Amino acid sequence: MAVFQRFLTLPPFPRGFHLVTHSILKHLPELEELRAGVLHIHILHTSASLTINENADPDVRRDMETIFNRLVPENHPDYVHTLEGSDDMPAHAKASLLGNSISVPVGQGQLILGTWQGVYLCEHRNKGGPRQLCLTLMGE
């Protein structure tokens, strides 16, 4: 079994849901060598998250942002952690709801994603800055 691990720093994205599948693939040329395995992707931040969803229609990404903003609104009177701005505590909650890691199966040198699936970086801060991903590719 082969194991490859890389760190990928993504540039700052505006708040929202962003497809990063191609950035990840460009950073893992070893993927082509594997006939079966798994790619584990972990984000090293607490106010951004990862998920897999629709990769074709950008309206889905906008709607996801709308849904999460309604689920976890800014400036809620019950929030205690407010020193880092009105978007910080909601960003932590949204990141916990979606999660900080995803795993994607690998087959015949490619990620096994559905026809309309892509990997999203979910930026929950207004100005989140660069985001670092740990990419661990395992397989044979």
Residue pLDDT, tens place only, 56-81: 999 999 999 999 999 999 999 999 99
Spell out the alpha helix ranges (H) of 1-140: 21-26, 58-71, 88-98
Helix (H) or strand (E) holding 65: helix 58-71
pLDDT, tens digit (0-9, with 9 covering 90-100), for 85-125: 999 999 999 999 999 999 999 999 999 999 999 999 999 99
Q: Which domain holds residue 84?
A: 2-139
Q: Give the number of domains in the chain.
A: 1
Whole-structure pTM value: 0.96
Q: Which CATH number covers residue 114?
A: 2.60.120.460
